[in-house]
Amino acid sequence: MKLILIILFFFIFIQNSNSQHSKDYEMIGTLQLATQEIISFKLTFKADEDGKIEGTSLTDILGSDRTESTIKGNINWEKKILSFHEIENINTKSQADKASFCYLQVTNANIKMVKGKTIIQGKFTGKYSDGKNCVNGQLYLIGSDYINALAKKHLHSDYGKNKDSLLKMQQQFADISAKVGNNYLRSNEALSLTWKSDDILIEVWDARQADSDEIAIYVNEKKVIDSFIIKAEKKTLVIPFPEKSDAIVRIHGLSEGKFRLCTANLTLRDGQNTTDVVAIMKQGENVIVKLKRNL
């Protein structure tokens, strides 16, 4: 059971499996701060033939400070080292001021192959946007392909003596995995996005069971859509970005439908960048998405 619980912890971060010879990589694990605090961390990147990498990092994955950032760096498979640094935030649930964000830097982390799994270990430092140091600690990552293989093996019915417990765990995996792939916002929570496009493109639908949940959407308190009943089919809104520097999108729950709570799936598209949000509200309450202009 202990082994299965450990696998469960890692399984929630899995989305795609990749081999070392692929140009796409995904690593998951933790950051351990000098204060002994441990923070969940996921690294996804593409590598070109010269070893240059670009991708994203995801920090505090299921926490209140969940933050996705762009990263750049280099990987050298011959010397077995990886270096990268975070450049800017894509989205965050943290309400901290932009100047107080700490951007991760990793230099020459070691890449090891141990019994068929890729492990990356090394030191990291963090710097504020003005270059001052803010944190340091240890990075530990493992390839999701190895974890995926273990999860498939140990979550199979042949390994579960209690079928009900196994089904319950598999459902928990599915629920938590969905939370990893999406930004879950409950009543009165907010998400901040960096925005570059001149338009705000929003897709709205009900990804589960359409139960007549009803919402209204406002941009800078100007009503964009009124008394909209969410359906399984996506509704697309294209809204010109307001003239002021930032915009606030407010999703207001008008009715909870047939089942408890009003739930809306939203995809916000900023050019090629997309952010998925699951808004879960009580009737009369709101979820907020802040769009911070970055031209």
Walk along the chain (295 residues) and give the pLDDT tens digit of each residue.
334 334 444 444 444 334 444 468 888 889 999 988 999 999 999 999 899 999 999 999 888 899 999 999 999 989 999 999 999 999 999 988 888 899 999 999 999 987 777 899 999 999 998 889 999 999 999 876 655 555 556 555 555 556 666 566 555 555 555 566 678 899 999 999 999 999 999 999 988 777 889 999 999 999 999 888 999 899 999 999 988 789 999 999 999 888 778 999 999 999 888 899 999 999 999 999 999 887 6
CA 194, CA 88: separation in Å to the nearest integer?
9
CA 30, CA 124: separation in Å to the nearest integer?
12
**Residue 239 neighbours by CB distance under 10 Å:** 16
Q: What pTM value is reported for the model?
A: 0.75
Residue where the block lists tokens 């760096």: 73
Dig out the tokens for 225 from the structure.
Answer: 């859509």
Torsion, Cα of 45, 49, 51, 52 (10° steps): -60
- Closest to 194 measured CA to CA, from 90, 289, 101: 90
- By three-state DSSP, how is residue 19 classified? coil
Q: Give φ, ψ of 189 to 5 degrees.
A: -85, 160
Domains of the chain: 2-149 (2.40.128.30), 184-293 (2.60.40)
